[in-house]
């Protein structure tokens, strides 16, 4: 596979991943919760988050494959692998738990205990989302530095 195809795949995956997650976090979710009733906004956010998790995992694994193909080793390969697995873990294990205790899902079975569990799980989910997003942005920086090292390091 040519270097150009690998580099293009890597940068498209990184750009799409970071851009989609930023757009969701800073635009879509904020607008959804401003203009839609809470239960509908929550349903929308949950559905979009599922797409973002799977898309993030796919992008991460493309970055891993392209990075290896380009001869990269170390953290710029290990970090996206870890992030891809975290995306899948969040989608397959954490998101269903959050959904199961959403107050609008429980109806009459909604208690103070389930509300607290929802708040805790939601906070974990949000924290994990932001950590993955920040780490994916760090990957952009890491790959950019590898392609264009500082001038003082080139000597």
Tens digits of residue pLDDT in 27-59: 999 999 999 998 899 899 999 999 999 999 999
> Which domain, by its residues, includes 20?
3-153
Q: How far is CA 133 from CA 7, 91, 101, in A?
A: 21, 15, 25
* Calpha distance 153→68 (Å, rounded): 23
Average pLDDT over residues 118-123: 95
Domain total of the chain: 1
On average, the pLDDT of the chain sits at 93
Q: Is the pLDDT of residue 143 over 90?
A: yes
Average pLDDT over residues 97-116: 86
**The pair of three-digit structure tokens given for residue 29, joined into one six-digit string:** 């979710």
């Amino acid at each position: 596979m040519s270097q150009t195809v690998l580099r293009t795949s890597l940068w498209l995956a990184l750009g799409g991943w970071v851009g989609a997650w930023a757009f969701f976090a800073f635009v879509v979710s904020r607008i959804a919760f401003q203009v839609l009733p809470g239960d509908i906004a929550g349903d929308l956010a949950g559905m979009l988050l599922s797409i973002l998790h799977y898309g993030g995992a796919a992008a991460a694994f493309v970055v891993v494959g392209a990075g290896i193909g380009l001869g990269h080793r170390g953290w710029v390969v290990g970090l996206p692998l870890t992030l891809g697995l975290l995306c899948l873990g969040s989608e397959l294990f954490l998101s269903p738990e959050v959904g199961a205790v959403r107050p609008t899902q429980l109806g009459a079975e909604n208690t103070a205990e389930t509300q607290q569990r929802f708040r805790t799980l939601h906070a974990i989910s949000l924290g994990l989302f932001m950590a993955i997003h920040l780490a994916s942005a760090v990957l952009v920086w890491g790959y950019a530095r590898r392609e264009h090292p500082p001038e003082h390091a080139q000597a």
